[in-house]
A = this chain, B = another copy of it.
Amino acid sequence: MDDRIHEHAETLVDWSARIESGDDVVIAVADGAHDLAVATARVLGERGANLISLYQSNEITRAYLQGHDGAFDRDPEYQRALYENADSVLFLGGGRNVAATADVPGDRMNAYSRARQAIREAQMDTDWVSTVHPTRSLAQQAGMSYPAYETFVYDAVLRDWEELADEMATLKHILDDGSEVTIVGEDTHLTMSIESRTAVNSAASVAYDSHNLPSGEVFTAPASPDGYVTFDVPMTIRGKRVRDVRLEFEDGVVVDYSASINEDVIGEVLDTDGGAKRLGELGIGMNRGIGQPTDSILFDEKMAETIHLAVGRAYDACLPDGEDGNDSAVHVDLITQMDAGSRFEVDGEVIQRDGQFRWEDGFQP
């Protein structure tokens, strides 16, 4: 087995999930993630953890949903009982076809998702971590050869996380102390308030309240955006490719939008509810192991020299105790490159210019 798969498993178990002897662990294995599951089982055995493996196959989900009439049992207790008694759930993504559920009616998928709300909450109450094993399907989605995609994934995952966590702490403190953020770039000039908000140092470990491997972003919950922003990183939203999404804000609300491809998807998202026209997240990508977008949010939003904004729901971790953030049924990330000609300011001070932070070599004040 490729040594990198074993290193991935060790990073997942030790750095990300902080598994200890006697921990009750669930691994949820996508149908292309067998090799990572085997490597993870080995490490879990070495650590003396307990293990049960779930089979997370989109083809099984599709068949089940195609057969079902849509009147799903709310909260099947036997499944919730598993998670409520578990310490960690490790989601090993990496399927064989990203379009495996493309022909399931949307309302049935939504009904299934609603019925599983309590199960999801029980999962999220554990020390859960989400990662992916490189598969040919994901390589194809990224437009890459399989060996090149494997290298891409391991460059992103096998970081010096301690060092990156230290660097991200610098930015977190700037954001925690700051009041107003400005992003300037091509067809982009946007200001937002971050007054009294707390940034999360998302260092790919439950010890940092971070549940993605890879991670490598600092994010907070902004308010009162004003101005316009163009998202030049291509993405797939609700199964459709979108490009060059442009949002215009006045008094904290989207007042105009456009896109060069599939503009209607953006319209649908913004029309979901009142909160969908407001911002829920400002995230700054800082993982220099991720050098290109691959049409996967797990990687794209952590890419160095990018900033992402999400319309919709805000994360509680960023809000003062007792304060409710923006609420919405959606949370849709959109990403912009912070390359030549761009800058990121906090309270009028330039923190990043042309993609370089002020603590990096080559930063131009």
Q: Interface on A for B, CB 8 Å cutoff?
A: 22, 24, 26, 29, 31, 34, 37-39, 41-48, 50-57, 59-61, 63-69, 71, 73, 76-79, 81-86
Jot down 19 A-B pairs with beta carbons below 8 A, ordered by A: A24-B79, A34-B59, A37-B60, A41-B60, A41-B63, A43-B67, A44-B64, A44-B67, A45-B65, A47-B67, A50-B73, A52-B82, A53-B54, A53-B55, A53-B60, A78-B83, A78-B85, A78-B86, A81-B85
Given contacts A55-B37, A55-B53, contact A63 B45 (CB under 8 A): yes
Q: Are A68 and B46 CB-contacts (below 8 A) given A34-B31, A73-B22, A78-B86?
A: yes
Task: Looking at the assembled complex, report how far the CB atom of A46 sits from the nearest CB atom of chain B, in whole angstroms.
Answer: 4
Q: A64 — which chain B residues lie within 8 A by C-beta?
A: 41-42, 44-45, 51
Closest B residue to A26 by beta carbon equals B78
Task: Write out the residue numbers on chain B whose beta carbons fall within 8 Å of the beta carbon of A59.
Answer: 34, 38
- Residues in chain B near residue A63, CB distance under 8 A: 38-39, 41-42, 45
Q: Is the pair A48, B68 in contact by a Cβ cutoff of 8 Å?
A: yes
Q: How far is the CA of A63 from the CA of B49 in the complex (A)?
A: 13
Residue from B50, B67, B79 within 8 A of A46 (CB atoms): B67
A69 to chain B, nearest CB (A): 7
Contact among B38, B51, B66, B84 for A45, CB-based, below 8 A: B66
- Could you tell me if A54 and B51 are in contact, using CB atoms closer than 8 angstroms? no
CB distance from A41 to the nearest CB of B (A): 4
Complex: A312 Cα to B67 Cα, angstroms: 44
